Amino acid sequence: MKTLIKDISSLVTIAGNNEKPRRGKELDNINEIQNGAIFFDEKILWVGSTQEAEIKLHNGEISPEQTISLKGKTVFPGFVDSHTHLVFAGDRANEFALRVRGATYQEIAERGGGIIATVKAVRKASEDELFENASKHLWSAIRHGTVAIEIKSGYGLDVENELKLLRVNKKLSGAFPIHIVPTFLGAHDFPPEYKNKPDDYVEIICKEMIPKVAELNLAKYCDCFVDKGYYTIQQAEKIFRTAQDYGLKIRMHADELADVGAGRFAGEIGAISADHLLFVSDESLEKMKNAGTIATLLPGTSYFIRMPYAPAKKIVEKEIPIALASDFNPGSCFTENMQIILSLAVTNLGLNCEQALVASTINGAHSLEISSLVGSLEVGKEATFAILDCSSYVEMFYHYGINHVKEVWVKGKKFIEN
């Protein structure tokens, strides 16, 4: 239905200059229209001020079938959450309780908790159970303003269970109208049965998993946890070269626990994104910059497992494009609420509000290669956006810890009302 929304106190369009991921000073421009208006059917037909909309209405240039007035509200493109592990079973509340008593993420993993604890739960769960649990979390993410999301496998760690997780992803895509981008993360950890022969597991990933995932068209990207105690660059290279041969593109968990040169490797192999980067070196950042690799920052994880924050300001100063994402998962960051992530980005990563908005919308969309569809409010893109019960976007950051989202619209239709 042709709809005009007008009288929008703060219309955050993030429009213009969106051919490539934004970097440096480009991150500061959110292109806000005060007292804005937007006219759309499934796609955006026109964006401007309410005064301009009134003239167009008068001249018969736009003829809406419904008109909505949104005084005192903010409209923005919605969050593109480009890094999550949303399909899983069980919970790890016990680990959280140990961490607040002083145990570290790595100590818990060494004692058989961590990723492997979730792997055990996933292997026991049916596809329907996984779907039901994931749906619940996906609803919650959308209720908090997420309009497109990447979801990784990685809690199966054998052929059958990795495929099971990716099939659940596909089912979610059929059940929800938002973009769900699937990533194969068979190299998340080593399964217990291969703990002492990790290279044999790498063989299985390359010879069995990747060919099957590609044949069934179950993933767009391949990811690997390249870090101390997890995958080495040599192992990751084997996996990624195979993935590339099968048409999968590369994204990477990089330098989260220590500087192992994963950022440099991400640049060398042409990864679209290197994520976490808590301990990334200057040399790695140079390589990423030259390769155009996006630095995806996940401050919710630093907060939740009580680790240092990535050097976000330095990354921005070096003119490397940044994205902001949740890393939603049951172990290292258990929130699907991107508003909290943006709050942490400004208080603890040192970004400003505008940089945080650009990084979590259009740059997230670039990272998932869906920037022609979502991530900014521009003519020709999908009419997908979130309405905030705030008279200014700054209020979302200032009044923290609550859900400001009033409605989420997807492809021209109201999808959720809180």
- Give me the residues that bind ligand NIG (CB under 6 A), please: 85, 114-115, 118, 225, 253, 256, 301, 327, 329, 331-332
**CB neighbour list of residue 121: distance below 8 Å, 6 or more residues apart:** 88, 89, 90, 155
Tokens of 307: 């680790």
If contact means CB under 5 to 8 A according to the sort of partner, which of Fe ion, ligand NIG, none does residue 301 touch? ligand NIG
Closest-CB residue for ligand NIG?
A: 331
Among ligand NIG, Fe ion, none, what does residue 99 contact (CB within 5–8 Å per kind)?
none
Q: Which residues bind Fe ion (CB under 5 A)?
A: 327
Count the alpha carbons within 13 Å of 151 in the hemisphere toward its beta carbon: 28
Least distance in angstroms from the C-beta of 211 to ligand NIG: 24
Q: What's the rounded Cα separation, in Å, for the pair 197 and 13?
A: 51
Which CB sits closer to ligand NIG, 68 or 307? 307
Looking only at Cα atoms, what is the longest distance across the chain? 74
- Closer to Fe ion by Cβ: residue 327 or 336: 327
Which residue lies nearer to Fe ion by CB, 150 or 382?
Answer: 150
Q: Which is nearer to Fe ion, 236 or 383 (CB)?
A: 236
Extract long-range pairs of 412-415: CB within 8 Å, 24+ residues apart: 412/1, 412/3, 412/40, 412/41, 412/42, 412/43, 412/382, 412/383, 413/177, 415/142, 415/177, 415/178
Q: Which is nearer to Fe ion, 26 or 327 (CB)?
A: 327
Q: Which does 256 bind (CB under 5 to 8 A by kind): Fe ion, ligand NIG, none?
A: ligand NIG
Label the pairing between strands 385-388 and 74-76: antiparallel
> Could you tell me the smallest distance in angstroms from the CB atom of residue 1 to Fe ion?
39
Residue 218 per-residue DSSP state: -
Contacted by 345, from ligand NIG, Fe ion, none: CB < 5 to 8 Å by type: none
Give the integer Cα–Cα distance in Å for 409 and 178: 10
Closest CA to 370 of 17, 21, 13: 21
Partner whose binding site includes residue 115, from ligand NIG, Fe ion, none (CB under 5 to 8 Å by kind): ligand NIG
Report residue 330 CA to chain centroid gap.
16
Nearest to ligand NIG of 26, 327 (CB atom): 327
Q: In the complex, what is the shortest distance from the CB of residue 30 to Fe ion, in angstroms, rounded to a whole number? A: 27
**Smallest gap from residue 241 Cβ to Fe ion (A):** 22
